[in-house]
Structures are given as structure tokens and as C-alpha cells.
Amino acid sequence: MKLLEERILKDGNVLSDSVLKVDSFLTHQVDYELMQEIGQVLADTYQDAGITKVVTIEASGIAPALYTASALDVPMIFAKKHKNITMTEGILTAEVYSFTKQVTSTISIASKFLSQVDKVLIVDDILANGQAAKGLIEIIQQAGAQVAGLGIVIEKSFQPGRQELEDQGIKVTSLARLASFANGQIEFAEADV
Ligand code: 5GP
């Protein structure tokens, strides 16, 4: 997605060999017009897949997931990262190791929001090692629902997440694919859309 690649070049900051900071439009301050465009592109890609729910993980996945859900006219569910005393009914959980925070947390979704009839599009902000996506897939499968695909705003293609997910049979659609950021220079691989 050309518009997104241009924005990454303009506003993305390379923090190290493997970490990109995109807090001015995606992970902290959010550019809603760009998110709306991203949501439309993902929705167009999965228009004929019979998606019934969009699932993401808090917090930075929520913006692109919500615009995707809006364009597909289906509900968006975000997995919670912290225990909440109001979640008293059945909850589905998975363990996720966070690439940026370097801690393992239990993520959860109330079981009443997913069932065997659901075809789910997972949306997330950044794909690195695929831990967040794998945790979401585990939860969706516990519910007996089907994963139709994974829509990613920024994929770091030099990390193993995409390959491992594809090896599990998951369709991955990344709007920007970063091949490397050696010497602070961002190089793109060909995006899926
Ligand atoms: P994964 O589970 O695929 O290893 O990592 C995915 C999550 O870690 C993303 O949802 C994102 O929140 C965070 N993350 C991974 N790599 C980066 C990065 O380079 N920059 C930022 N800002 N977040 C990242």
C-alpha cells in the first residue's frame, strides 16, 4: 500500500536493527484517515471470504481493526491483556510473549463473542515473531471458529512470524513489508496489497 509505505518513510523511526517506532500515526497518536484507508483495503481483500468478526489485541491493533470491521460491517473484538473483574463468565485464554515488552501475558476473549459459526479476520498493527497472532489463533480455535486470514499493517519480513504462520496454513495479508532497516535505511519487500 503505497500511501502507507510513504508514511513509514516520512514518519517511522528506526530504533535498532529490529524495532521501528511508528507512534505518530499508528501505535500512540493515530491517523484516522490512514486507518480508514487501511481498513478499506483489508476489507476489500476479504470481501468475499464471509467474515463475521474481526479480532485484534489491545491496544495498537484496535484502530486498524475497527476500521476494517466498519468497512466489512461486522463486529470487532479485541483480546484483553489484563485480567478484568467484570469478565466473570467463560473466557478463552492464551499465553503471549510480547516482543516489545519482553514479558509473557495471558490474553483473553469472552467465549460468548466467538462460536463455531464465525469466520474471523485477525488484524494487527505489526507482525514480528508472530506470537500475538498465534495467541489469537489459539483462542479463535478454542471457540471452534475459523481463521480466514491475518491482516497486518506493517510486517517485519526479516523476522519469522509470517513464515511460521503460513506454515500453519494461515493466509497473511501485509500492507507494508519491511525487508530490512540496516544502517537506519528502510527497505521494503513487495507488499501483498
Ligand atoms: P509479535 O507477537 O509478532 O512478535 O509482535 C507483535 C506485536 O509486538 C505488535 O502487535 C506490536 O505491538 C509489537 N511490536 C513488534 N515489533 C515492533 C516494532 O518494531 N515496533 C513497534 N512499535 N511495535 C512492535
Residues 61-98: tens digit of each pLDDT: 999 999 999 999 999 999 999 877 676 679 999 999 98
Residue 150, annotated as binding a ligand: no
From CA 28, how far away is CA 19, in angstroms rounded? 15
| Beta partners for residue 175, in sequence order | none
Task: Give the span between the Cα atoms of 2 and 99, in whole angstroms.
Answer: 27
CA dihedral 42, 2, 164, 118 (to 10 degrees): 0
Q: How far apart are CA 32 and CA 54, in angstroms?
A: 18
Q: CB under 6 Å to ligand 1: residues?
A: 19-22, 27, 60, 99-100, 124-132, 161
Ligand 1 atom with the smallest distance to the CA of 125 is 10
142-178 pLDDT, tens digit each: 999 999 999 999 999 999 999 999 999 999 999 999 9
pTM as predicted: 0.97
